[in-house]
Structure 1
Amino acid sequence: MSKTTGTVKWFNAEKGYGFIEVPGSDDVFVHFSAIQGEGFKSLDEGQRVSFDIVENDRRGVQAANVEKL
């Protein structure tokens, strides 16, 4: 399955979550635990990312395996 690419719409580092904007689709929820890499896991507004979309019972879809581009 190919990864989806998008742009971080906003991310609240204190709360540890935000949303990724995907052209032609709904915004995708992202939790800090889905961000790949070492150290402090945060995303910057406007940052390009690639990710997998997974189903979540509580929120619909969310991002997984998020990688900064």
Structure 2
Amino acid sequence: MTKSERKMIQIEKATKASHEAKLVKLADKISNNGGLLSEVPKGWTSERVRGYFLWSQAVCSNLKGTN
């Protein structure tokens, strides 16, 4: 399975996850995105960072109502 396929599956599975799993996923995305804002990993281009943010947004959009 390609990385792209795995990422699409994460987007799809987010809607079906338990409330607890959604909380963990949301906390993970908040942490990862915050980390990217403060320090970009070595070797990451601005395009890759932007791609991560867009993918993360797609995952989080399927976590609506989780708080």
Coarse TM-score class (shorter-chain normalised)? under 0.3
Higher alpha-carbon Rg:
2
Which structure carries more relative contact order (alpha carbon 8 Å, separation 6+)? 2
TM-score, normalised by the number of residues in structure 1: 0.22
> Which has the larger share of strand?
1
TM-score, normalised by the number of residues in structure 2: 0.22
> Which has the larger share of helix?
2
